[in-house]
Structure 1
Amino acid sequence: MFFSCKKTALTSSKIKTTLSFDNNHLESKKKEKYLDSIFNVLRVQENDSVIRNFYFKLSTEYYYNNNLKKSLNVSLLVLKLSRQVNDKEGMAKAFYYIGDSYGSVKKDSAYFYYLQAEKLYYKLSDYSNMARMLFNKAYVLFYDGNYTECEVEISKALHYLRDSKDQRLIYSCNTLMGTCLEKLANYDKALWYHQQALNNLEKMKITGIDKDEENNYYIASSINICNLYDLKGEYSKSIAKLQGLLSNNLEEKWPRLYANVLSNLAYSKMKNGDYRNVYAMFSKSLEILKNNGNESDILYKKIHIGEYFLTQKDTFRAINILKEANVLANRIKNSNEILTSLKLLYTLDKKNSFYYANEYINLSDSINIVQKNAHNKYARIEYETSRIQDENKILTTKNFYILTISFALVFLLLIIVILRYSKYKNKELQFLKKQKSANEEIYLLLMEQHEKINNAKENEKSKIAKELHDGIMNRIYGVRMNLGFFNSKVENEIIEKRKEYIFELQNIENEIRTISHDLSRNSFLDCNDFNILLSTLVENQNVTGNTQFTYLIDENLEWSIIQNVYKINLYRIIQEATLNVNKYAGALNCEVKIQSEKNGLLKMSIIDDGQGFDIKSKKEGIGLSNMRERANSLKGYFNIESEIGKGTKIEVIFNLEELT
C-alpha cells in the first residue's frame, strides 16, 4: 500500500489500524519508497503519542533497510516533537535512536547521544534502558580501542541489571565484558564472564527462545571461550569443544557459523602441533565464507592460513596469502589485522622487511595517537556534558534566587499595603467605636468581647457546649425543680415565687440567644458585686434540695481587679459543683469557701458530707471534666478527694497575679 503526499484527514486511531510495517517481502528500493510514503502521511498529522510511536517504528525500518541518513532524520524529528510536549520518555528514546543512526559512521556523536539518553533514563528511574545505553557506550569504546573505559561502562551496566529479567541484554553485557578483558589480557576473568553469558542463555531457554537464536548465541559464546583457551595455551580444551559443535545440521542451516567453527578448530589444532587436515579445513572454511560470510571473516581466515604456511615453512605461499590479507585489511580499515599482517610479512619477506617494519611502526604510532585522542575525546564529551549540566544547575539556581527575591519583594510590598490599609481601617473603626461609645462600661464590654474571641477562636464550639451544660442546663434544672416543688401550692407567696422563676426563665432565654449569636457572655456579671452573685448562686441551691449550703468569702478579696473571663469560669465551677451535690451527693451540709492565701494564691474549696464515691473506679463525667478543663484553662490547680461514705472535697487554686 502506498500513500500520496497531500494532506489527509486521517485521525490517529485510523492511522493505527491502516499503517503497516509488515513489508519484509519487499526488496530494498521498493521498501524505501513504501517507508517514504508512510513518512509523508505522518508529517501532516497532529503531534500525539500514537504518531510519535509510528515515527519510532519508521526510524527502525529505515535503519534495518540500511538507510542510516533517513533513520537519523526521522529520529531527529521525533526528538523535536517529544520536546514540544515535554515527553521525557520520547526524548530519551529519540536520543537512543539517534545514537544508533550515528553508531557505525560517527562514533563520537553516537557516544554523545547515548550519554544524553542515559541521563534521561536515570531521571526517569528506567534502569533497564539506562543499562542498555551504558552497554552501547561501552560498545563504542571497545571498537575505538578504549578497553579500560569499556570495562568501566559495562560494570555500571551490569550493576543496574542486577535485578533485571532482560537476560538478552545481560548476555550481551557479559559477552562484551569477556571480550574486553580478553583484550586487556585478563584471560581467566574473561573466561568467567563468557561462562556467565552461557548461564544467561540457560535462563533464556527457560523463559522461551527461538532455537535458531539459541544456537547462534551458544556457538558465539563457545567460540569466544575457545579463543581464550587458545590464548592460555589450552589447545586441547578448545579442540574438544569445537569438535562438539561441528555437525551436518550446522553446515546446512548456518554455513557461516560452521565455517568459523571449522576455521577456529583448524587454528587450535595448528597451535597444538597437529597439522593433519588443517589446510583442508582452512580452505573449506574460506570457500564457504566467500559465498556466505563477510570480508572480516575472510580476512581472519587468510591470516590464519598465512600462519599455517609459516609453520610448514612454505614462505612463498605464506607471503602471498598475507599480502592478500594486508590489502583486504587496509580496504576494510581493520587496524589490528593490518598490524598482524605487517608483523608476519616483516618476519617472512626478508627483502622487504625494512619496508614492512616502517609501515608497522608508523601504523602502530598512528593507532596509539588515534586511541589517545579517542580516549580524550570521550572523556571530553563526558566532561562537557557534565559542565553544561552544572551551568544549567547554576542558571536554575540563579533563576530560583531571582524568583524568590522577586516574590519576597512583592510579598513585602503586599504586606505593607495590607498593613497600611488595615491601619487606616483600624483608625476608622476606632473612630466609629468612639462615636458610638456612650460610656466606659460599653467600651469595656467591647474590649472583653474582643479578648474572648481572640482567646477562644479555636475552642469556641467546646466552650459553647460547656456553657450550655454548666450554665443553662443547671439553671433550667434549678427552675424546673423549684416549679415542681411549688406546683401543688396556691398561696400568694408561692405564686410570687413562681413569677420569679418565670422571670428567671426569661433570663435563661436571653442568655441562650446571647450564646447562639456568639456575643459576650458577661450576662453573669451585670451585677456590680461579683461576691453577691456568688452568694445568690449558693443560697438558691438551698431551695432546690435538702442540702444546707453555706458560703464563706474572704472580705479582703477585690473582685474588681480580676478579669471577667476568669470570674465566669469560677462561677461555672461553683455552679456545677453545687448542682452535683444537690443531685448526687445526698449530703446534709455543703460548704463553699473562697479565701486569699498569703503567698498570693486564691483557694476555692467545696466540701460536702454526702455519700462520696470511688474516684479510681468511677469514670469522670462531663461535669467534672468541664470543671477540670476550666481550671486548666486558667492555669489553675484542680483536685478531687472522695471516699464512699465520707463525702467529697473539691479544691481549685489559682495564682492571683495571673488572674488580674
Structure 2
Amino acid sequence: MFKIVQISVFLFALCCSFSVIGQSTSKKMDSLMQHAETSNDSVKLRIYNKVSFYYIFNEPERAKALLLKGINQAEKKKIPFSEAELINTYGIYYDVSGQSDSAKYYFEKALSISKKHDYGIITVMIINNLGMFHWNKGNYQDALNYFFQALEMNKNNAKDSGNGIYFNNIGLIYQEMGQYDKSLEYHEKALAVREKYHQKSEIATSLSNIAVVLGAQGKYSKSEETFMKAIKMAKAENEMGKYYDALSGLSTIYIEQNQPLKAIPLLEELREGRNKHNIDRRSNLVAISHLIDAYNTTENLTAALKYVTSGTNFLQEFPDIKNSAVDFFQNASETYFRTGNSKEGLAFIKKAINAKEEIFSSENATAIAALETKFKVAAKEKDLAEARANLVQRELEVEQKNSLIFGTLAVAVFLGILGFLVYKQQKLKNNQLLKEGELKAALAKIETQNQLQEQRLRISRDLHDNIGSQLTFIISSIDNLKFGLNGAATSVTDKLGKISEFTSQTIYELRDTIWAMNKNDISVEDLQARISNFIEKAKVSSDVEFHFDVAENILKETNFTSMQGMNMYRIIQEAVNNSLKYAEASLIKVAIKKREDALVEVLIFDNGKGFDLKNSKSGNGLANIQKRAKDLGGNVKITSEEEKGTTLLLSFK
C-alpha cells in the first residue's frame, strides 16, 4: 500500500496549536524557559507544556523531565487546567515513544480531570488524542468514533475553523483502511476549511495528504502536481517540517514509479535539512533506507555504502527505532551482497531477522495482555449479571410476602378477588421474567458468537500479517543469501532452494487454515472450489489424470463446520500427495457423496502399484489421516493390492 509515514507524525502538534518553525526554534524554547521563571504559575505551566511538546520530537528525555516537573507543580498549586493539559501532553510523550498502555492511562486521567472541571477545549483535544492512540493500535473503528466525537464537540467549543484537524484525521483513518474515495472526501473537506480561514501552513498538510491518496490510487501525475503545490506552500510559510514531509511524499511517488534518479536529490535534501534544523530527525532513517535502495538500483554502490555507514551511526543515536530499522538492514544487506561482501551481507540479514522477531514478540505480548484483560472484563460482567438476577429474585420474594400480608388483612369477601389478582400478577411477572431470561440468554449467545468471531478474525489476521509476513521475509532473505553465495557449492544452493520451497508450501497451508478459520460454516461449494484448486495445481506438476466428482444431493443439502471442512480437505490433500509420491499411478479419482443414512463418504482411488498393508510401515501421512478421521467422528478404511491400486474410503456423519 502506498503511504507516507512522516505526514501523520505531527498530528498531535495540531491539537496543541504548536508548529516547528525552523532553525531558530531551539533558541525560542530556551527564551521561553527563561521567561517562565519570571512568570506567574499559570503562565509558567503553559510554557512548560508548549516547550515539552517541542522536546517530545527532539529530546524526549528532556521532555519527560519537564512534564513531570510541571505536573507536580500543577498538583501542588491546585491548577487543574494546567494539570489536565500537562498530563495530556505526557500521554503524547508515551504514545510517540511507542508505550501505548501508558499513553492510554494518561489520556484517560487527563480526560477525567478535564470533564470534572468542564474544560471543553482540553476535553476535545484529549478525545482527539485518544483517537490517535487507537489509530496507532490499529483499532480504526474506535479511532473514527473518537474523531467524530471530537468533531461534534468542537461545534460547541469554537468556530468551524477548528474542524480541519478532525476532517484531516478522519481522512487519514480511511486512508489507512484503504477506503481512498472516503479518505479523499474528508481531506478535501479539511482543505476547504483551511482555505476558508487562510490557515496556510495547514493547507500544505492537506495538500500532502491528498497527494498521498492520489498516489495510492495510481494517479501519479495528479499526485506529483499536488505534492508540488504542498512543497511551494510549506516553503512560503517557512513550515520546514511540513516542507520535508512533502519532499518525502514526492520522493516516494518517484520510487513507486521506479524513478530513483528523481527521488535521490529530494531524499538527500530532506535528510540534510532535518539534521540542520533539528526537525523530526528520528524520521531520517526512512530517508536513509530509501537512499540505499535507490543507489542500489542505480548501481552506485559507493554512495549506497556511505548511507549504510550513516544509518548504522544513526541507529546508535536512536536505538529504539524498530520498524524502519528492518528495511534499513535489508537494503544494507543487498548493498554488501552486490559488492561481493557476503559476510557483511549475512550479518545485516541476521540483524533484520532479529529486529523483525523483536517487533513481533512485542506485538504478541501486547495482544496476549489485551486478550487477558478482555476475559477479565467478561468475567466481571458475568458476575454483575448474576448479582442483578439475584437482586430481581429477592425483590420478587419481598413482593410476594407483602402480597400475603395484605391479603390476610383484607376483608374475606375480597380474598377470592385478591387471590385471583395476585395469581394473575404473579403469572404476568413470571412470564416477563421468563421472556427476559430468554432474551438475556439469546443476547449472551449472540455476544459470545460475536466475541468468538472477533477472536477468530483477530487470530487469522495475526497469522496472515505476522507469521505470513515473517515467512515471506524468510523467502526474501534466502533469495538474498543465494544471490550473495553465487558460485557456492550446488548442494548449498539446492538446500536453500528446498528451504524456500518448503516455506512457500507452509504459506499455502497457512492460507488454507486462515480460509477455514474465517468461516463458521463451510458449504460444499466452498470445499469443492478449494479441492478443485488443489487438484489443478497437482495436474500442473504431474502427468496423472484426475477425476473429481461431487454428488448432487450433497451439493444441495449439506454444510460443514470449519473444523469438518478443514479435516476433509487435509485428508484428501494427504491421500492425493501420497498417490503422487509413491503410487506411480496414471489415474487418481476423488468423489464425495451422501448416503441415504446421512453418512458422508469421501473416496480417493489411484490405479498405481499399491502396497502390502500388513507388511508396510504406517508413516506420518497415514497416521495424520487416521487422526483427522477420528476428529470427524468417523472411520477411514484403506484397501490396497499390489499392481491393482489403492482405495481410501472416509465416512462420517
TM-score w.r.t. the length of structure 1 is: 0.43
Larger Rg: 1
Higher relative contact order (CA 8 A, sep 6+): 2
TM-score w.r.t. the length of structure 2 is: 0.43
